Amino acid sequence: MKKLLSTFALLLVIQFSFAQELPFQEEVNNRAKEIDEAGWVKGSAVFTGSSSVRMWKNLQEQFPDVAIINSAFGGSTADQLLMHLDKTVLRFEPSKVFIYEGDNDINAGQEISDIMENLDELATKIHAKYPNTTVNLIAAKPSPSRWDKKVSYVALNDLIRQYATTHDKVNIVNVWDIMIDDTGKPKADIFIEDNLHMNDKGYALWKEVFTPFMK
């Protein structure tokens, strides 16, 4: 009996340790609590992914006629979003989902083919539960701090565009072009000091691009 109890206790410790080791678990839990306390409605447009969406502070204000849930977290990657898909997306029964992943993935050295596999799995899991939900994959943005990886970002965006054209209820939200200046480089005045995340001017440009997808 003691041996059985010891084994059971060990399994509980292992299970608890695994749960604690999931990337961004604490942040996802805290964000979920904030969303629940603020209140939300089924059928909202869910924005999720990494910090470029998380830091879009006036997102709801820019689209006042659409119920929006922003569940983005940290510097996440597509495979990490998959780990938290239930808590960040599926439980909300969304009508639209906007996903920004790929930026950090490339910066972390992930292969583009692996990123696409993860994006495909995200879309597939969402559609398996909600066939009529539109999945909007946000293209990787250009940023001065990661401009040395431009070729990889362009290649990823091309594959996302191809994927969107061959899958029902999937769109690409092209934020790349509007963020490029006449010289072909990222606009210098739309970023904060880290040259990675955007300021209000940057998000104003995003609003222009996202507006057709919010109707």
| pLDDT confidence of residue 126 | 98
pLDDT digits (tens, 9 = 90+) for 41-82: 999 999 999 999 999 999 999 999 999 999 999 899 999 999
pLDDT digits (tens, 9 = 90+) for 141-192: 999 999 999 999 999 999 999 999 999 999 999 999 999 999 999 999 999 9
Sequential DSSP letters for the chain: -HHHHHHHHHHHHHHHHHHHHSTTHHHHHHHHHHHHHH---TTPEEEEESHHHHT-TTHHHHSTTS-EEE---TT--HHHHHHTHHHHTGGG--SEEEEE-SHHHHHTT--HHHHHHHHHHHHHHHHHH-TTPEEEEEPPPP-GGGGGGHHHHHHHHHHHHHHHHTSTTEEEE--TGGGB-TTSSB-GGGB-TTSSSB-HHHHHHHHHHHGGGG-
Across 195-209, average pLDDT: 98
Q: What is the 3-state secondary structure (H, E, C) of 131-164?
A: CCCEEEEECCCCCHHHHHHHHHHHHHHHHHHHHH
Tokens linked to 205 = 């440009």
Q: What is the pTM of this model?
A: 0.90
Across 27-35, average pLDDT: 98
CA angle 87, 91, 95 (to 5 degrees): 120
Please check the confidence at residue 20 and state whether its pLDDT lies above 70: no
Confidence of residue 92 (pLDDT cuts 50, 70, 90): very high
